[in-house]
Structure 1
């Protein structure tokens, strides 16, 4: 979840831009990269849920 700024997420052959007040869900087992996509600071909240 991006609380301020803008983040990018790349997985497989896709790239998604997450804007302020948006969230994105990806299975942690999938290889992915996350980066700051804004000129300034981006703040995010990451939640990890352990598999059953």
Structure 2
């Protein structure tokens, strides 16, 4: 199941000048991670794709459009989105500037 995290930033107890928010919960074993710079009108893959690994996308700057099956989700700066890799999906820049995304791939429950 896909999940969009849009929680607000908070200051934990006993912290000063410190703002944080949870981006994702436990999602299995992390396999690898990457950072992507997606140009205006960039993204992919065209036609969507599937695979066994799941993804957690974290938007660092800009705004991403994630196509997941028949649905489209907009993920803004400082938000994250979980993608089940077995559902056809792709990620696209949704702005006129470069969008920066961290991608963390995790094992699926079936692995």
Question: Given the two structures, how large is their TM-score scaled by the length of structure 1?
Answer: 0.90
Trace 1:29-40 onto structure 2 (pairs within 5 A): 29-40=86-97
User: What do residues 14-50 of structure 1 show as CA deviations (whole Å, max 9, x unaligned)?
Assistant: 1000000000001112110100111001000000012
| CA deviation after TM superposition for structure 1 residue 5, in Å | 0.2
Structure 1: gaps of 5 or more residues: none
Tell me, in whole angstroms, the C-alpha distance in 2 between the residues paired with 1:10 and 1:49: 19
The runs of 5 or more residues in structure 2 that have no matched partner are 1-57
Give the superposed CA RMSD.
Answer: 0.9
Shift of 1:11: 1.4
Measure how far apart 1:8 and its partner are. 0.2
Give the alignment's TM-score, normalised by structure 2.
Answer: 0.45
